[in-house]
Structures are given as C-alpha cells and as structure tokens.
Structure 1
Amino acid sequence: MHSKKSHSKKMILHATVIMAFVGILSFALEHYGEGHLSALTAWIEASGNFAPFLFMVINVIGMVLVIPQTLFTVVAGVLFGAVKGTVMCLVSMAVGSSLSFLLGRFVLRGRVFKRFRNDPNFMKMEMLSRKHPLKVLALSRIVPVVPYSVANYLWAATGVRFLPFLIMSVVCLIPETVFMTAGGHLLSSGVRMGTVNWKMLAVLAAAAVLIAILVRAVRRSLDQE
C-alpha cells in the first residue's frame, strides 16, 4: 500500500512541476516577449483546423517516440482551452496508443519483452493482466507506475487484447486529461488576462476528486480479489 501511495504522490508532484514550468514559460512569453502568448492564441483561433490538426499529429508522434504526454496535455489547455484541448488530447491518445500497441505487438514485442522481462512493474502487469485485465489496465492508466507512452509498449508485450486496451486507455484518462487541460486553461487566463476562471477551477477540483475516488475504487477491488 505504501508503494501505491508513493506512486500517487509522484503523479501529483509530476503534474505540479509540469504546470509550474508551463506557467513560468507562459508568463515569460506574455510579459517579457511582447505578448507572444496572446499572439500565438490569436493565430490559433484564426488558423481554423490547421493548428489543432498539427498539434495532434505532433502529440501522436511524441507518444510513439515515448515522449511524456503530461506536457502536451497542459499545453493543449493553454493554447486551445479546456474543452477543445481535452477532446484533442483524447483523440491523440487513442491514435498514438493504437500505433504504439500495434508496433509493440507485431514489430517490437521481442525487444520489449527482452528489455523488460525482469522489470518488477512489467512482471506485475503481466501476471495481473491474466486475472484482472480491465482492472489492472484502469489502475495503470489512472495512476501510472510507468509513463503512459512506455506502458503502451509494455501492454503490447502481455496477453491483453487490443480493443480492451484501447477503450480503457482512453476512458480512464478522461479525468486526468480534464484535470491537466483545465489547469493549463487556468494558467493561460491568469497570465494573459490576470483573472481567475472560477468555472475551470471548479472543474479542476472536481477532476481531482474523481481521480482519487476512481483510484481507491479500483485498488480496493483488486485488493479484495
């Protein structure tokens, strides 16, 4: 149980560090870069579907190349807003996870298994996925023991089927994605307009509570069985 709590703390610390980094960068661009953040968001609004499409393509490529997704998710909230940013990130995660899983299953499975076969996290994933695949998938997505993009390849090396993997990978990421994009949107509105978006703050708090509830529910179910 102690290790599980430490993973939760690491996830919160990681998200806080990413948000702080994006916030400082956004502040520097806006206040020391002659309003570059406002100019960038104005260009995005005027570009139609080009900017969102380009962002999602970069996000998918980053996922396949095992680049951490937290930064992309926060930036999506900064540039596109919480609602649009959430949708874009979930679509990107669905496509990127699918590509990574298929590459891991049919092209890189031998290499992945050879590299991680003695890793304790992978051994637990493989063992538990035989008995409780949906629950373990849910927990690994809600509280990632390993980074999301790395886990895509690890799950491909187990016996988990593609469709359950894809569904759980996207559905279980909704609360965290809403949390991160809402945080990014709060940073953006605070930096550019000097105001607090109370609706987004409420969404941020609600997403955090939902994540905590889901984590406890899935862990309790696994512990009982």
Structure 2
Amino acid sequence: MRRRLERVLLLLGLLALPLVLLRLPAVRNALVSLVGYMREAGAAGALLFLGVEVLALAITTPLWVMSGLAGYAYGFSKGMMIAWPAVTLGVCLCFLFGRASIGKLLSMRAGEAHFWRAVERAVRADGFKITFLLRVTFAFPQNIGTYMLSATPLSLREFAAGSFLGLLPATLFHVYVGASVESAAALLSGEAKAPGSLGWITLVLGFVVTLGALVVTSRIARRSLDKALAAPSQAAEP
C-alpha cells in the first residue's frame, strides 16, 4: 500500500509540475515572447519552437500547450503543419531519452503492475497498434505514456509511426483552439475572449464538433485497447 501511494504521489507530482510552472508569470511571459519570435524569425523560430517543445514534453507538459501556441502563432493550416511533426519528433526524442536514462527503472516498476505487464505483452504482439490506440485515447496522460512505452521492447519505428498517426486528432483540436484565441496569454490562462457574436457561434460549433469527434474516437480506441491488452494474457492461458 505504501509503495502504491508513493507511485501515485510521484505520478501526480510529474503531472502537476508543468501546470505549476505555467502559473509563473516568468514562464508565461517567456512563452508569449516565443510566439513573437516564431512569427518574425521564420525557420529559426520554428526550430526554437521544436526545442522548447521537446523540453516541455520531457517534463510532462500537456500536449495542448505547445500545439496551441503553434496554432496561435501561425494560424490553423501552417500551425498544423508545424505542430504535428514537432509533437511527433518531440515524443520520439523523449522516448529515446526515457529508454537511455530511466528505462530500466521503469521496466522494473512495470513488472510489478498488471496493466504495464499487459502493455508489454501487447507491445510484443503489435507495437504499432498499441502505440496508436494509446495516442488516440483522449484521457490517457500522453507524456507518461511515452516514458512507459520506453520501458517496453517497442521499436522506435513502431513508436514513431503509431504516435504520428495517433496524435493527429488531438493535435488538430489543440491547434484549432490555439488559432481561435485572441492572445497567447489568454490561451495559457484559459481566459480567451469571445470574438463577436458570429465569430463566437462559429467558434463554439467548431469546438463542439471537433471535441465530439475526438471523444468518440477516444472511446472507440479505448475499447479496442482494452481488447488488445486482454488478448495476449488470454492467449497465454492453456
């Protein structure tokens, strides 16, 4: 019981760290300045965005933060062209970092958890499918999932392909929201203002449709994931 409590507290701490950092004025101001530089510096701004993205994902910052900033900085179309490959590359680098630094520790911990053992068995059977389903599952903590998968035998190729396709729905949603707000500060604080009556109606309808599609996709993926995780253990039974 004590070990479980320690793990839960550690997990909560990892998830809370970036949210606490986002409450700091210095961090918010730095991200707002990043948006200004991205708009003015062209390719150099996109490269800086990628570097910050990797750092943000490494400390388990929610995916919506950087993808939303890309949408705000470049608009929906260009923001999507930058955010989607950037978040994929970011999670791949975190995957490699996790495997090189804390993979063994996570692997030992994973061996004590039924869910993680099921993930490892399923990954051996079909790594691409499991990665894809985990990515499409909306409520799953994606950055924790990256480190979790780094402790399995999953190949980088399967991880990259599954992440690239699986992160598409959520990235579309995050970039859309970012492209719809009036300021980066509003995006980071959640205090966006309505863009007029017609703009507000359009924004709400688009938000509802996009979120609804994401939720439906997530539920389908979750059911498929449950079956995939159960299948290896069932197959192992005599």
Give the TM-score of the pair, scaled to structure 1: 0.67
Identify the match of residue 46 of structure 1 among 37, 40, 51: 40
Match of 1:126 in 2: 120
Q: 1:84 aligns with which of 78, 81, 91?
A: 78
Aligned pair partner of 1:210 in 201, 209, 213: 213
Number of the residue aligned with 2:58: 64
Q: State the alpha-carbon separation in 1 of the partners of residues 206 and 139 from structure 2.
A: 25
SS in 2 for 1:118: coil
Q: What is the alpha-carbon distance in structure 2 between the residues aligned to residue 90 and residue 156 of structure 1?
A: 21
Once superposed, what is the RMSD of the aligned Cα atoms? 3.6
Superposed counterparts of 1:147-166, under 5 Å:
147-166=141-160
Paired residue type of 1:102: L
Residue ranges of structure 2 left out of the alignment (5+ in a row): 1-18, 184-191, 232-238
* Residue ranges of structure 1 left out of the alignment (5+ in a row): 1-17, 30-36
Distance 1:51 1:129, change over 3 A: same
Shift of 1:175: 0.9
1:147-186 correspondence to structure 2 within 5 Å:
147-186=141-180
Instruction: Give the 3 Å change call, closer, same or farther, for CA 90–134 of structure 1 in structure 2.
Output: same
Give aligned pairs, total.
Answer: 194
Q: Distance in 2 between matches of 1:101 and 1:43?
A: 28
Q: Any conservation in 2 of the 1:138–1:168 contact (CA below 8 Å)?
A: yes
Partner of 1:136: 130
The alpha carbon displacement at 1:145 in A equals 5.7
Separation of aligned partners in 2, 1:146 and 1:208: 15
Task: Find the aligned partners of 1:202 and 1:91 in 2 and give their Cα distance.
Answer: 27
User: Percent identical across equivalent pairs?
Assistant: 21
Aligned partner letter, 1:208: L
> Aligned to 1:196, what secondary structure does the other structure show?
helix
Distance in 2, Cα, partners of 1:120 & 1:129? 14
Q: Which residue of 1 aligns with 2:199?
A: 196
CA shift, 1:121, in A, is 4.1
Inter-CA distance 146–47: structure 2 relative to 1 (3 Å threshold): same
Change (3 A) 1:212 1:146: closer
